[in-house]
Amino acid sequence: MLAAIGLTREAVAVTTAIPWRTPGDRSPTLSEMDICRPFIERQIALAEPRILLVLGNFASRMLIDGTKTVFDLRGKWHTREIDGHSVEALVTFSPTELLAAPANKKPAWHDLLAFKARLD
């Protein structure tokens, strides 16, 4: 996905919102989200990114708005304050979600183009 918009793996920092698979691959609980949030926020703070591309439902709920889904949040820019650093974030579908629902590839492509435009 990154290569399609001209980014190399070396040019970006990639991390995961939850560093383990939940039992039965279920959605993480609120307590698991609360446990993991400080770690992902610290990684973001240390990297000091100009912008974030937030992939998927869980990551978007953890970082942007815990009451909304990726469908509500995607395609819009959100400002997130992390450790005194303001960063703009764009939410889109995760690769796993795109494999499960190929119809979401078109809106995800538009999101990626918007991300690349803001990055440039």
Which two tokens mark 41? 């926020």
Contact status, residue 75 vs residue 113, Cβ threshold 8 Å: no
Average pLDDT of the residues in 21-36: 89
Quote the pLDDT of residue 102. 96
Quote the pLDDT of residue 19. 87
Whole-angstrom distance, CA of residue 115 vs CA of residue 5: 9
**pTM, entire model:** 0.91
Q: How high does pLDDT run on average in the chain?
A: 93
Residues in the chain: 120
Quote the pLDDT of residue 52. 96
Helix (H) or strand (E) holding 42, with range, is helix 30-47
Quote the pLDDT of residue 68. 95
Domains of the chain as residue ranges with CATH: 50-120 (3.40.470.10)
Q: What percent of the chain has pLDDT over 90?
A: 76
Pairing of strands 85-92, 77-82: antiparallel
Contact status, residue 62 vs residue 17, Cβ threshold 8 Å: yes
Strands of the 51-55 sheet, one edge to the other: 51-55, 85-92, 77-82
